[in-house]
Amino acid sequence: MSNRERWGSRIGLVLAMAGNAVGLGNFLRFPVQAAQNGGGAFMIPYFIAFFLLAIPLMWIEWATGRYGGRHNHGSLPGMFDTLWNHPFAKYLGVSGLFVSSIVLIYYCYIESWTLGFAYFSLTKGYFGEHSITEMNSFLRSYQGIESGHFDGFGTAYIFLLITIAANFYILYHGIKGGIEKFVKIAMPLLLVFGVFLAIYVFFIGTPDPSKPENSVWAGFAFIWNPDFSALSDAKIWLAAAGQVFFTLSVGMGTLQAYASYLREKDDIALSGLATASINEFVEVVLGGSIAIPIAVAFFGLSTATMIAQGGSFNLGFVSMAVVFQDLPFGNILGFIWFILLFFAGITSSVAMAQPVISFLKEQFNFSHRKSVFIVGAGLFFCVQFVVFYLKYGFLDEMDYWAGTFGLVIVALSEVIVFAWIYGMDKGWEEINKGADIRIPKIVYYVMKYVTPLYIGFILIYWTFVDAIPILLMKNQPPENVTYLWGARIMMVLLYAGFTWLVYKAWKINKHKYNYHNV
Amino acid sequence: MSTEFTPLGIAFMILAWSCVIGLSIFSVGKVLRKNELESDDE
C-alpha cells in the first residue's frame, strides 16, 4: 500500500473536483457561446456533447488517475506508463504536465484581475467610469496596456502577487489540509453568491421604464430563444463540443492528479457524475442568468451583442462594472460578483499546479515543501512575460496552443491509451470498481468508439480552421510577431524541460517501475 | 432579433434547468448520503 496522501471526505473530493471544473468560463464563456450559437437550440448539441464526449472522458480521467495513484503516480507520464508498456508512453504523458503548467501561468494572472476588481468594487475604485468605453479604458490601464488611471503595472502586480501567494499557501498545506479545507469553504460560498446574484437579476426587470425592450427577459430570450436553423451548421456543433470540453477541465491532467489520491475501491462513477452535475448547474443555471441578462437589461440587445462579441473579459469586467455603478449597493454587488469569479478561478488554478507538484514529489523524492516552492518560483518567473507582454498577444498565444489545442491533443491521447491500448474491457472494469451507481453498458461503446472519433473530428476541424492560420500568424500586427515567437519559444522550452525531467526520472527510478512484470 | 422571450425559449430554459438541477440533486444527494471514503485498514 502506498503512503500517498488521501482525500479526507467524499464531499471534499467532489467539491475539489467541481472547483477544478468550475472556472471563469462557466460565468463568462458559456452565455456568450449560447447566445452566439443558436440560443436554446445550442443546448441540443451541448447536451449531446456533454453525454458523448465530456462524461465518458471524465470517467476515463478519474479511472486513469486512480489507477496511476495505486502505482504512486499523480501525473500523466507515470499514469500512461502504467497503462501502456512502451518506452514512449511516459513521453506522451508529458503533454499533461505541459498543458496544466502553461494554463496555470496565464490563468493566475487573469484570476488576479478578479481579485483586483473585487477590491475596486468595495472601494468604488472604478465608480465614475460610466460608459463601456471609459470602463474599458480603466481595464486596459489596469493591465498596463494604456496609460491613464494607473501608472504602469504596479497595482496589477500587487494583486498578482497576492493571488500567487494565496494559491501556494493552499497548495503548501497539501491535499487534505489545504485544497480540501479550502474548497469546503470556497465552493459553498461560490454557490451562495451565484444563486444570490441570479435571483437578484430576476428582480431587476426593466431598469429604464422608458425603454421597455431593454429588460432581463430580453436577455434570457437572447440566450434561450431557439434558432433551429443554426443546427444545420457544423460550427455550432463544434462550438458546443468545445464548450463542454473547456467547462469540465478535461484534457489537462488535473482530474487525474486529484483522482490519484483516491483509494483503489473508492467510487469514481457517482463522484464523477456529481462533479459534472455541480459544474453544469453553475454553468447552465447560474452562468446563463447573470452577465448576459444584466447586459441586455442595461445596454439593450444590440450593445449587449457587441459586448459579447468583444469577448468574455468585456462582459465580465467591463459591462458588469458599469452596471454595478447604477445599482443600489452596487459596490457590494460588484464585490460579490468579482469575488465569485476569484473563487471560481482559484479553485481551478490550485488544481493546475497539482500535476507538477505530484511529479516532482514522486519522481525526484522532493519534499512537498520543496516541490511547492519550485512550482511557485517557476510560475512567478514565467508569469512576468504574460504581465509585461500582454498587449502583444503573449497570453492569447499560450491560451490557444495549450488551453485550446493542447487540451484536445491530451484528451485524444488519453482516450486512445485507455480504451485501445490498455483495453476497454480492463478499463471498464477499472471504472466500475467500487462504483456506487451502475453505468449503462452503452457508455462502454461510447468510450471506445464515439468519444475518440468525436475528439478526432474536432482536432482535424480545428487544425484546418484555426491552428494553421494561427501558426502562420495570419492577421497579426507586425509589432506582435516577435512576442508571439517569444511565447512559442517559452512553450517549446517548457515542453523540452518536462521531457528531459521525465527522461531523468525514469533513469533514476528504473528499478521501481516494474509494474508490467508483476 | 426578437427581444420577446418566446414560449419555446422558456420551454428550452426550463428543460435545460430541470436536467441539470435533477442530475445535481440525484448525484450530489447520493454522495452526501455516502459521504465517507474507504479506510486504509481494510
Instruction: State the DSSP string of A10-41.
Output: HHHHHHHHHHHH--HHHHHHHHHHHHHTTGGG
**What is residue B40's predicted lDDT score, i.e. its pLDDT?**
46
Nearest to B27 among A8, A273, A288 (CB): A273
The answer to whether B14 contacts chain A (CB < 8 Å) is: no
Instruction: Tell me which chain A residue has its CA closest to the CA of residue B21.
Output: A281
User: B24: which chain A residues are within 8 Å (Cβ-Cβ)?
Assistant: 274, 277-278, 280-281
For residue B41, the distance in angstroms to the closest alpha carbon of chain A comes to 10
pLDDT digits (tens, 9 = 90+) for A260-306: 999 998 999 999 999 999 999 999 999 999 999 999 999 998 898 88
CA of A266, closest CA in chain B: separation in Å? 6
Determine, for residues A221 and B32 on separate chains, whether the beta-carbon distance falls below 8 Å. no
Is the CB of B4 less than 8 angstroms away from the CB of A273? no
pLDDT value for A510: 81
> From CA B42, how far away is CA A152, in angstroms rounded?
59
Alpha helices (runs of H) in A389-480, residue ranges in sequence order: 394-400, 407-416, 424-432, 442-445, 451-462, 468-471
Judged by a CB distance cut-off of 8 A, whether residue B24 touches chain A is: yes
CA-based nearest residue to A93, from A502, A512, A448: A502
Contacts of residue A418, defined as CB under 8 A and 6 or more positions apart, other chains included, come to A60, A63, A64, A83, A427, A447
Mutate to test the interface with B, among A225, A244, A286, A298 (most CBs of B within 10 A): A225
Q: How far apart are the C-alpha atoms of A230 and A240, rounded to whole Å?
A: 12
Kindly state whether B41 is in contact with chain A, defined as any CB-CB distance less than 8 angstroms.
Answer: no
Q: Does B8 touch chain A (CB under 8 A)?
A: yes
- All residues of chain B having their beta carbon less than 8 Å from the beta carbon of residue A248 are none
Closest Cβ opposite residue B9 in set A224, A270, A296: A224
- B19 and A224 within 8 Å at the Cβ level: the answer is no
**What is the distance in angstroms between the Cα of B34 and the nearest Cα belonging to chain A?**
8
Residue ranges in A286-367 assigned as alpha helix (H): 291-299, 301-309, 312-313, 320-324, 330-364
- What percent of chain A shows pLDDT beyond 70? 99
User: Which of A142, A307, A292 has its CA nearest to residue A220?
Assistant: A292
pLDDT over 80 at B35, yes or no: no
**Which grid cell sits at B3?**
427581444
Consecutive 10-residue runs of chain A (518 residues): their mean pLDDT?
82 95 91 83 90 95 97 96 95 97 96 97 95 94 91 93 98 96 96 96 93 92 88 87 89 96 94 95 94 93 85 88 95 97 96 97 95 97 96 94 92 97 97 95 97 94 91 93 97 98 93 71
Query: Tell me, what's the pLDDT at A518?
Result: 55
Among candidates A221, A280, A284 on the partner chain, residue whose Cβ is nearest the Cβ of B2: A221
Rounded to a whole number of angstroms, the distance between the first and last alpha carbons of chain B is 63
Question: What pLDDT score does A310 carry?
Answer: 81
Q: How much is the pLDDT for A511? A: 74
Instruction: To the nearest 10°, report the CA torsion of B5, B11, B17, B19.
Output: -160
Query: Residue B41: its pLDDT value, please?
Result: 44
Contacts of B28 in chain A (CB under 8 A): 14, 274, 277-278
* Nearest chain A CA: its distance from B28 CA (Å): 5
Helix (H) or strand (E) holding A239: helix A234-247
- Per-residue model confidence (pLDDT) at position A151: 84
**pTM of the predicted model, to two decimals?**
0.94
DSSP 8-state class, residue A249: T
